[in-house]
Chains A and B, each alone.
Chain A
């Protein structure tokens, strides 16, 4: 053991730790980026997912040195400065109490790191059009053509065909306890399957007919809460065909755990085939559905005799659809 009472001992300790730290951090980061980083969720099925993955990896590669730094320090301290080894009088007095240089450096380093992270996160959020997160009815970071397609969808004028660069709006309707999906571009049919075309920017319009759910399309890198009477918009751009899982990630009651389904990203022509076929097959039902809208006012009372009194003079309550003729 080096002589701890020596004034130059200070330098020795830190230098040793720093050496180990640099070596371990570099090795750790290299190993991580080779062996783990490519497999980090949510994968690379969409642009969004790929960018989320990259962000995660960058954060992780910054976090690893932090973890190693503290761990190495702790391990070193516990080994070298335990009372059995370090029998000499402990470090004390003003020098031990306040080392302004250390304090200032610590603050500068943490502040710079934190500000960098916030800046980087903001940059990633903006360039990735909200990173697949639900942005509410007025998306602040919409991709080009996103808002146009949304407006068109509401008017029933949204178009999409293989090869077009149009954004494809898809409505996600959460209800206890299943998601269903409406395709305004194809006559507004509703389906319990979620099929998407490859290489297309999708605008998910997430809403709910009852309580709050959260639409989590895991491999797509999309998560947006489904709130009643709120249109929560999230964007993603699909890449190659593949399958993905959709799960509910906001507790919504008894069957929350089984509120999942799988979805498919298919080639553009396969998707168009599926959409037009389903549109035709579901035509009879689509005719009965209400006109396509961003949100639907669920009857808060449920089947007759609900929670609130029914003699409400102001209630605009209607079912998803229309009232039954009495």
Chain B
């Protein structure tokens, strides 16, 4: 007995005034010369940039510090800001906000152009945005990765320098910032946007325009942060500590404005995801039936929306310091350098979990599929994610243990920091519990998930060392920290992203990723990730501070080992890239409808997925992940007789 029998048989076409009403395409959306796409975005972006630059030069003519230094931060700020606005206007993101002034409302949705050009346009389809994000984050990642190669090259030798010290610091700063910006979106952007509506059985996002805007802001942010290099870079690392920040050249503007721009995108993305998950779950999807990946995105969205505004404000203050000469962060003029540290880390620590939680979500989502058994302690896993999200707002001062702030608060922050390892530990309870007496299929995504458990454990345990104030004295600000967060972010998040890609690309593209090349990729990446970063724990303990261009000569062996491993790690990404090209283009292999025999909703709809996702809105019947359970009801009722079979895979 299924609900579809009781469903109304009356099925109607589009109705005027309905959310899915279609309209004639405006000239901006029609194919042709006048339509808006990537090219118009570039053109308007450049025009905006030039206008802003001229305007900035005009405004700043009276400032002594600009004529003395010969570097004009004001012009750069306005150029970039106008450039971003031009970019958004060019792609068409501002059409609707303008139309709104004349009373046009959101229900009059324009259907996007439905051909290949939609990938280069302002698309309101969350699946298109998801794919756009895939390309976007990969670009981000490749840029940051190239910079990482440059860093490791400089560290090959403590006395022979490949880069000058200032260039080296700029490379380090750019690498850190690009990677941090990329990592905040690497799962929420591509996989979150693509799969959250599918996994909650929704036909759409709550705010598709905001979603699309978040992507195009993300790309604008990429260009803004990249512009730091031609502006001469910035020397502060990704943490941007003031007053070094205030002292730096115009490249710093790219950092501050870049974070403000990316931050806006992060807020918007999180906003849309949170609202969608709360309101658009399919009928029957109670909170205890939500897939664990969706839980992780919800927890992440809470952090994105609430922590990022603090970064936005901090960046705004920094920008004011750098342009109109306020003194938020300059002690000598009534400001306080600690203010930046507090604002930055109040955002910065939740940010760390913005990067960790989606990884946990993917691990929790994939394990049952490849273990062929239900997720162990589902409630604990979602509670753990919410717990991490909440606690993450109360730990920020552990970054400031040696800064001289609030020594009497240290025990408290040590406690909160160590407390957060309890909910983080839940993911291990869930993972290990799910593996228990399972029937593990060693498919590519599963390998990456297992690697995540291996890597994140090292990252997590070393995190406890860092949170212990006495040990922190030795390891703070050194390579130990560096290794720790690479183990959590790269070892956790990036491996999860790869797991997610290998898992879901067949759904997104309709092509299977090649397993052989994938295995080469996995083993290279896993082994050389560990060989790159594990020595850094020792390097750090032996006294090498972060972000140095030279180091004690006795550490050269370890550093060289790490560098060479890093090159091979870098090479493994080329293997991945080759796999993409090979599997999607050179030797495409059509993916089966449900290659992993998953029970997830996202696999039950047609491939390619229709723009409205589901023929009928599915009705959720039971808990997710009821693998290999005799007599379990199907997860969802799709209301159509001809829908792909959603029942439990027969050969469990």
Contact = CB atoms under 8 A, between A and B. Distances in A.
Note whether A and B contact each other (Cβ less than 8 A): yes
Interface of A: 4, 9-10, 13, 40-42, 48, 51-52, 55-56, 59-60, 63, 66-67, 70-71, 73-74, 77-78, 81-83, 86-93, 96-99, 102-103, 106-107, 110-111, 114-115, 117-118, 121-122, 124-126, 128, 130-141, 206, 210-212, 214, 216, 218, 221-225, 227-230, 232-233, 245, 247-258, 297-300, 305-309, 312, 315, 317
Contacts of B630: 92-93
A103 B429 contact: yes
A132 B333 CA distance: 31
Contacts of A4: 437
B371 interface: yes
A42 to B, nearest CB: 5
A114 B410 CA distance: 16
Interface residues of B, number: 101
A91 B472 CA distance: 43
B402 A55 contact: no
Contact of B378 (A90, A97, A298, A308): A97
A233 B402 CA distance: 10
A300 B461 contact: no
Interface string B437-481: 111111000000010011001100100110111111110111000
Contact of A122 (B236, B411, B422): B411
A90 B376 CA distance: 13
Contact of A309 (B325, B418, B551, B552): B325
Contacts of B470: 51-52, 55, 121, 124-125, 128, 131-133
B414 A122 contact: yes
Contacts of B621: none
A229 B421 contact: no
Contacts of B541: 40-41
Contact of B404 (A86, A102, A216, A230): A230
Nearest to A312: B333
Given A114-B418, A117-B418, A224-B402, A133 B333 contact: no
A191 to B, nearest CB: 23
A243 B163 CA distance: 31
Nearest to A73: B432
Given A70-B432, A81-B437, A92 B477 contact: no
Most chain A CB neighbours (cut-off 10 Å) among B165, B425, B437: B437
Interface stretch (B242-250, B579-587, B605-613): B242-250
A223 B474 contact: yes
Contacts of B438: 77, 81, 86, 90-91
23 contacts: A4-B437, A42-B474, A56-B465, A59-B468, A70-B457, A73-B435, A74-B454, A81-B436, A83-B372, A83-B439, A90-B628, A91-B628, A97-B375, A114-B421, A117-B418, A117-B464, A118-B419, A131-B473, A132-B470, A140-B410, A248-B545, A258-B549, A305-B65
Given A82-B442, A249-B477, A118 B415 contact: yes
B545 A118 contact: no
Nearest to B462: A63
Given A92-B629, A251-B244, A306 B453 contact: no
Contacts of A87: 439
B643 interface: no
Given A212-B244, A307-B325, A227 B473 contact: no
B553 interface: no
Contacts of B450: 74, 78
Nearest to A4: B437
B349 interface: no
Going nearest first, the 4 A-B pairs with the smallest beta carbon separation are: A249-B477, A257-B548, A232-B404, A300-B332
Given A131-B469, A225-B402, A308 B628 contact: no
Given A55-B470, A124-B470, A140 B407 contact: yes
Given A59-B468, A106-B426, A216-B477, 5 more contacts: A90-B438, A111-B422, A228-B331, A249-B476, A253-B247
Nearest to B416: A118
B432 A125 contact: no
B650 to A, nearest CB: 13
B464 A56 contact: no
B437 A256 contact: no
B207 interface: no
Most buried by B among A59, A90, A130: A90
A4 B437 CA distance: 8
Contacts of B166: 254
B560 to A, nearest CB: 17
B157 to A, nearest CB: 13
A134 B543 contact: no
A21 B506 CA distance: 40
Contact of B547 (A51, A89, A251): A251
Among B421, B438, B552, which residue has the most Cβ atoms of chain A within 10 A? B438
Interface string B476-489: 11100000000000
A253 B169 contact: yes
A66 B378 CA distance: 23
Contacts of A111: 422
A249 B546 contact: yes
B385 to A, nearest CB: 15
A265 B406 CA distance: 30
A130 B469 CA distance: 8
Contact of A96 (B165, B376, B469): B376
Given A96-B376, A141-B407, A256-B169, A63 B547 contact: no
Most central of A63, A102, A249 by chain B CB within 10 Å: A249
A228 B243 contact: yes
Contacts of A308: 65, 325, 327, 330, 333
A56 B332 contact: no
Contact of B65 (A78, A138, A254, A307): A307
Contacts of A93: 374, 629-630
Q: Which of B330, B457, B548, B551 has the most CB of A within 10 A?
A: B548
Given A81-B438, A89-B628, A251-B169, A212 B337 contact: yes
B326 to A, nearest CB: 10
Given A103-B380, A245-B543, A118 B373 contact: no
